[in-house]
Amino acid sequence: SDEEYIKFIRQQPKWYRKLSRNPELTEDFRLASLEFFGKTIPQRVDKLQNQVQMASFMIDMFQVLKEQQEQSSSTDSADTTENDND
């Protein structure tokens, strides 16, 4: 977007000089801006992969916690039954 181009050119003032001397470098500027903000296709794919890995990790953690709770509740009920028999 135009706002991102403005932010990029303010953070990378060398592009002022490049574009004023060679306006045909506009496409290079656009690509450099996309890369800077992490919006190229490979960068987006990497970001998505990281998010999927994180979600998978969270699901695995929740499953382990659920199993631990089920085990502890079953041992608690077994302990209660043993105490009732005493």
Question: For the chain, what is the radius of gyration of the CA atoms?
Answer: 28
What's the domain range around 72? Answer: 40-86
Looking at the fold, whether 84 and 45 belong to one and the same domain comes out as yes
Q: What is d(CA 82, CA 86) in angstroms, rounded to the nearest whole number?
A: 7
Looking at the fold, whether 58 and 82 belong to one and the same domain comes out as yes
Q: Are the C-beta atoms of 18 and 29 separated by less than 8 Å? A: yes
Looking at the fold, whether 44 and 30 belong to one and the same domain comes out as no
**Percentage helix, strand, coil for the chain under 3-state DSSP, each rounded to 5:** 90, 0, 10
Tell me, yes or no, if the pTM score tops 0.85. no
Number of domains making up the chain: 2
pLDDT at 85: 57
User: Which pLDDT tens digit goes with each residue over 14-73?
Assistant: 999 999 999 999 999 999 999 999 999 999 999 999 999 999 999 999 999 999 998 888
First-last CA distance in the chain: 75
